[in-house]
Amino acid sequence: ILNVEQSPQSLHVQEGDSTNFTCSFPSSNFYALHWYRWETAKSPEALFVMTLNGDEKKKGRISATLNTKEGYSYLYIKGSQPEDSATYLCAPWQAGNNRKLIWGLGTSLAVNP
């Protein structure tokens, strides 16, 4: 079973702060890395799907980088806003996992106004 770790588990920041989270996964047999945002009482929504080592993706104030050789991805939020409060999940897709995503437990972000 693939071991996916996300850190920190939870985070409280003030509005306007920039923050980042980490997703760690085994680097062998890597295919893709997914990031999702999950707001309370809603369903997870995709932020990024990344496949290439060195990939950087950006959506508004949120960006992500990927290092497949060492098995990690960073998610950055610039100038956090209260509406960014959510749980951020990562899920790698790797060979040997029967063609499915393996989900991390997420980083829970709370942005105080």
- Tell me the pairing of strands 72-77 and 86-94: unpaired
Q: How far is the CB of 46 from another protein (least distance, A)?
A: 3
C-alpha closest to that of 49 among 101, 111, 1, 113: 101
Strand partners, 64: 57, 75
Per-residue mark of binding to another protein, 64-93 (x: CB under 8 A): -------------------------x---x
Among 106, 107, 109, 111, binds another protein (CB under 8 A): 106
Considering the complex, what minimum distance in angstroms separates the CB of residue 19 from another protein? 21
3-state secondary structure of 37: strand
Give the number of other CB atoms < 10 A from CB of residue 102.
Answer: 16
Q: How many residues touch another protein (CB under 8 A)?
A: 21
Minimum gap (Å) between residue 113 Cβ and another protein? 26
Binding pattern for the stretch 23-62 against another protein, x by CB under 8 A and - elsewhere? --------xx-x-x-----xxxxx--x-x-----------
**Does residue 101 touch another protein according to CB under 8 A?**
yes
User: What residues are paired with 91 via a beta bridge?
Assistant: 34
Distance CA 25, CA 29 (A): 11
